[in-house]
Amino acid sequence: MGLSGDQVFYLFLAVIAGLSVSVWVFIEHLGVRTKARAKVQQTQAREETRREIAAYVAEGSITADDAAKLMAMGPDSLEGVKAGLREMLAKGAESVRTKVSESSRAGCC
């Protein structure tokens, strides 16, 4: 007993539909994994930035108020936080240089 032409056609359609669904599920799975990986990387970058800000506060390069302002900028402006941090550090380094040169002019140890 063989398959009729209609039965072969429907079997072919079922196989194509099954393959299409399998490929779609695989692509969706890859999309979810990619989004999850991006979220993990974003979280790691945010935490690294927070640790760097905390280190700058601990060494006295920036004040705690400045650090709070940087952290309040939010995760969407990570580049803005880094730019603000660079600017604050540049100002801090300039003020340290000014203090050192003033103390050396005054003859202080």
> What does the alpha-carbon distance between residue 97 and residue 58 come to, in Å, rounded to a whole number?
19
pLDDT at residue 83, as a whole number: 72
Q: Are 68 and 60 in contact (CB under 8 A)?
A: no
Name the pLDDT band for 87 (thresholds 50, 70, 90). Answer: confident
pLDDT at residue 61, as a whole number: 84
pLDDT at 16 over 80: yes
Q: Which residues contact 54 (CB under 8 A, 6 or more apart)?
A: 67
Over the stretch 19-74, which tens digit does the pLDDT of each residue have? 999 999 999 999 999 999 999 998 898 889 889 888 988 988 888 888 888 888 76
Name the pLDDT band for 103 (thresholds 50, 70, 90). Answer: low
Q: How far is CA 105 from CA 55, 60, 79, 102, in A?
A: 31, 24, 39, 5
Neighbouring C-beta atoms of residue 46, cutoff 10 Å: 15
> What does the alpha-carbon distance between residue 105 and residue 96 come to, in Å, rounded to a whole number?
14
Count CA atoms closer than 13 A to 77's CA, side-chain side.
Answer: 11
Phi–psi pair at 73, nearest 5 degrees:
-65, -25
Higher per-residue confidence, 61 vs 79: 61
